[in-house]
Amino acid sequence: MRVIDRTLAAPAFDALDRRSAPLCEDADILLVHPAQHLKTIRAASPAQGYRALDPDTHMSPGTLNAAFRAVGANVAAVDAVLSGKATNAFCAVRPPGHHAEKTRAMGFCIFGNIAIAAKHALERYGLKRVAIVDFDVHHGNGTQDLVWDDGRILFVSTHQMPLYPGSGSADERGAHDNVVNIPLKPGTGGSGFRTAFTERALPALTAHEPELLLISAGFDAHQTDPLANLNLTEDDFAWVTGQVCDIADAFASSRVVSTLEGGYDLDALAASVAAHVRVLMERGNG
């Protein structure tokens, strides 16, 4: 969060409308998780020290609050965009969300931030179709789990395979053909990524005609990221952001809400977020 804040403090981002993330309501989390999950997470929250939820996922005394604000940011961003106060929004949040399943925190994720944003738009604003584009290098198994049965939500994920968490093969397609998994081989690189996205993601997004575009913006597919080997660059992240904005222009009155997922080389993370946000600013209508 510190490197992102530093990067977005540059004069190029002076025009950004910065808002602090509010705490979410329990009801927001209950849009996608059973009450038992919220209860389990609350009970696990340590008064001091750390509590392990799984081998990767730990809670400190501040985690619960941060997780509620991560959800709250996503809900507030959808509110801002669907009420016309903003064209698009980027949520710089930790913890991320796309690995959190209905009843399981995992992979640094506690609650399904972007899936909650999707359900919030559908249930509370009456939208009929939304799409989530997840270009984090890892498969968004949690988002897939949370939206599997909901044909109103198209979930499109590009990810390296094989890699954690192991799911995300192309034959996992959702209960309503609403999941499009695009696994990519290690070493794919920007050109292969763009080809796959153009050939498989764009037709699915176009066919779905989403009224709101949501992005799980993980930047760990960057070539210097220590966790994976897809070898993308800032230019590739800017490109894919532009592609999503094009779909939003065509079907969604340009409305895009993006939320931070992974990114573990801090210099690459900062530069990639800057590239992503720059495109969102250029494409936003003021």
d(CA 77, CA 40): 27
Instruction: Indicate which single residue of 28, 134, 136, 236 sits in contact with Zn ion (rule: CB under 5 A).
Output: 136
Query: Minimum CB separation from Zn ion for residue 166, in Å?
Result: 13
Q: Which stretch binds Zn ion (CB under 5 A): 147-155, 193-201, 212-220, 275-283?
A: 212-220
Options 33, 37, 98, 99, the catalytic residue: 99
Q: Which stretch binds Zn ion (CB under 5 A): 9-17, 35-43, 49-57, 258-266?
A: 258-266
Note whether 218 binds Zn ion by CB under 5 A: yes
Residue 248 vs residues 34, 195, 214: alpha-carbon distances, Å: 31, 20, 10
Note whether 220 binds Zn ion by CB under 5 A: yes
d(CA 243, CA 141): 23
d(CA 72, CA 34): 18
The reply to whether 99 belongs to the active site is: yes
Query: Minimum CB separation from Zn ion for residue 218, in Å?
Result: 4
Q: What are phi and psi of 40, to 5 degrees?
A: -60, -45
Distance of CA 13 to the CA centre of its chain: 21
Q: Which stretch binds Zn ion (CB under 5 A): 25-33, 42-50, 131-139, 168-176?
A: 131-139
Note whether 134 binds Zn ion by CB under 5 A: no
Q: Which stretch binds Zn ion (CB under 5 A): 10-18, 153-161, 247-255, 260-268?
A: 260-268
With 0-12 CB in 10 A as exposed, 13-18 as middle and 19+ as buried, what is 180? buried
Note whether 183 binds Zn ion by CB under 5 A: no
Question: Among residue numbers 45 through 84, which ones bind Zn ion (CB under 5 A)?
Answer: none
174/262 with CB nearer Zn ion = 262
121/163 with CB nearer Zn ion = 163
What does the binding site for Zn ion look like in residue numbers (CB under 5 A)? Answer: 136, 138, 218, 220, 262
The residues that are catalytic are: 99
